[in-house]
């Protein structure tokens, strides 16, 4: 795949992240970039009007960016980016693996768990023989579609394809750093949602730079501690996927998980909101405390994460005490 001319790049999904990264790559005319969708109206709007009428109706897309509902496009793909919700990634690939060449590179963009609380690369390795990579970083899609410089960590067990992706994304608005720490990168991308909720709750109660910085520091230390327990490397916290992604998610009101924290802190969060919106952090808290931590014999009692778990699972929880409780943990914790 050394020749980048006529490289076939397929994105599974026509959501915000697939459309935005696909559009960035479409500026490079030597690539054939196609978005694979199940939504006919979105496909038609991309092909005919050069807009994504569902996610970016007011933003003109590159005319070379195409969309299709024909899954056979997977069979000619050199690289497949997966941009669908994390809970359906593995099932989708398993169902359609007969279409995918074993030489095709698979890049996971989803942030979350696969089946049985495995990371998505772990689960995909059981399903297909392909090299699986992930791209994780501080990346709001509306910024990417506007060609704002954006950082991603590209991770894979082996570094043999890193040079290829450096060439693919060269001279674009997307900047890469690289890691072979698959566990660390995957868990960082999940943990940051949990701690973004915590920061949101704190900010809902106190608009205090001092307190915010205290909680941010404690959050980073807890993430670093947990990543090491899962076999990840502490230095991964200093990649785009670590501190960069966490700070974006925790401090920017475009973040759904920070917004969830603000709603909880102000007393506006309801079960109805939870059911209608995919909130990765809320799901992850339960998985970590009830499943993963127990299996790995990690004591969560002295972690802020456990206090957030109590918020979600104690109907009589007094949210006005949340900040005092995590400050107590901060002083008497690990």
pLDDT tens digits for range 25-52 = 999 999 999 999 999 999 999 999 999 9
Per the model's pLDDT, the better-predicted residue between 298 and 18 turns out to be 18
Indicate the pLDDT class of residue 293, thresholds 50, 70 and 90.
Answer: confident
Last residue of a domain, one of 145, 180, 215: 180
**Would residue 1 count as lying in a domain?**
no
**Would residue 317 count as lying in a domain?**
yes
**Would residue 263 count as lying in a domain?**
yes
Indicate the pLDDT class of residue 315, thresholds 50, 70 and 90.
Answer: confident
Angle at 51 between CA 20 and CA 254, to 5 degrees: 45
Do 141 and 237 have their domain in common?
Answer: no
Last residue of a domain, one of 130, 151, 180: 180
Do 238 and 170 have their domain in common?
Answer: no
Contact 194, 227 (CB under 8 A): no
Whichever domain contains 55, its CATH number is: 3.40.50.720
Do 32 and 174 have their domain in common?
Answer: yes
Last residue of a domain, one of 180, 196, 218: 180
Angle at 106 between CA 28 and CA 227, to 5 degrees: 110
- Tell me the percentage of the chain whose pLDDT exceeds 70: 94
Do 302 and 242 have their domain in common?
Answer: yes
> pTM to 2 decimals?
0.91
Whichever domain contains 195, its CATH number is: 1.10.1040.10
Q: What is the domain range of residue 130?
A: 7-180
Do 278 and 152 have their domain in common?
Answer: no
**Would residue 2 count as lying in a domain?**
no
Do 80 and 97 have their domain in common?
Answer: yes
pLDDT of residue 298: 77
**Would residue 124 count as lying in a domain?**
yes
- The rounded distance, in Å, linking the Cα atoms of 242 and 177 is 11
Domain count, the chain: 2
Query: Out of 7-11, 179-183, 223-227, 289-293, which region has the weakest mean confidence (pLDDT)?
Result: 289-293
86-107 mean pLDDT: 95
pLDDT of residue 261: 92
pLDDT of residue 78: 97
Do 253 and 158 have their domain in common?
Answer: no
Neighbours of 110 (CB within 10 A): 23
Do 132 and 265 have their domain in common?
Answer: no
Do 226 and 305 have their domain in common?
Answer: yes
Indicate the pLDDT class of residue 114, thresholds 50, 70 and 90.
Answer: confident
Do 27 and 174 have their domain in common?
Answer: yes
Do 210 and 104 have their domain in common?
Answer: no
**Would residue 218 count as lying in a domain?**
yes
Q: Which two tokens stand for residue 169?
A: 């994304």
Residue 54: C-alpha distances to residues 26, 39, 45, 57, 276 (Å): 19, 10, 9, 6, 18
> Which residues are annotated as catalytic?
192
pLDDT tens digits for range 193-204 = 999 999 999 999
Do 249 and 296 have their domain in common?
Answer: yes
pLDDT tens digits for range 159-187 = 999 999 999 999 999 999 999 999 999 99
pLDDT of residue 333: 59
**Would residue 193 count as lying in a domain?**
yes
- Cβ partners under 8 Å of residue 219, min gap 6: 195, 198, 199, 246, 250, 304
Q: Is the pLDDT of residue 274 over 70?
A: no
Q: Please give the backbone phi and psi of residue 277, each rounded to the nearest 5 degrees, phi first.
A: -120, 135
Which has the closest alpha carbon to 177: 152, 213, 142? 152
């Amino acid at each position: 795949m050394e020749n980048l001319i006529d490289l076939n790049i397929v994105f599974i999904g026509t959501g915000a992240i697939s459309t935005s990264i696909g559009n960035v790559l479409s500026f490079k005319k030597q690539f054939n970039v196609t978005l694979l969708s199940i939504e006919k109206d979105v496909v038609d709007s991309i092909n005919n009007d050069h807009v994504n009428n569902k996610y970016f109706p007011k933003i003109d897309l590159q005319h070379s960016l195409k969309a299709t509902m024909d899954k056979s496009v997977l069979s000619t793909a050199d690289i497949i980016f997966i941009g669908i919700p994390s809970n359906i990634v593995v099932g989708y690939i398993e169902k359609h693996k007969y279409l995918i060449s074993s030489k095709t590179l698979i890049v996971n963009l989803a942030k979350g768990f696969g089946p049985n609380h495995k990371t998505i690369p772990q689960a995909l390795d059981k399903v297909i023989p392909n090299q699986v990579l992930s791209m994780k970083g501080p990346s709001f899609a509306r910024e990417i579609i506007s060609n704002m410089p954006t950082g991603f960590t590209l991770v894979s067990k082996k570094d043999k394809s890193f040079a290829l992706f450096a060439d693919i994304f060269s001279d674009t608005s997307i900047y890469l750093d690289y890691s072979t720490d698959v566990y660390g990168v995957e868990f960082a991308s999940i943990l940051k949602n949990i701690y973004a909720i915590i920061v949101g709750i704190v900010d809902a109660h106190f608009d205090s730079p001092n307190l915010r910085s205290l909680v941010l520091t404690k959050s980073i230390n807890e993430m670093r501690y947990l990543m090491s327990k899962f076999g990840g490397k502490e230095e991964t916290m200093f990649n785009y996927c670590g501190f960069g992604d966490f700070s974006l998610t925790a401090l920017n009101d475009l973040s759904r998980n920070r917004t969830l924290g603000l709603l909880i802190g102000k007393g506006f969060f309801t079960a109805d909101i939870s059911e209608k919106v995919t909130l990765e952090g809320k799901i992850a808290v339960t998985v970590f405390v009830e499943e993963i931590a127990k299996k790995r014999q990690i004591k969560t009692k002295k972690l802020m994460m456990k206090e957030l778990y109590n918020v979600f699972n104690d109907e009589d929880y007094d949210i006005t005490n949340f900040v005092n409780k995590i400050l107590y943990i901060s002083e008497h914790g690990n």
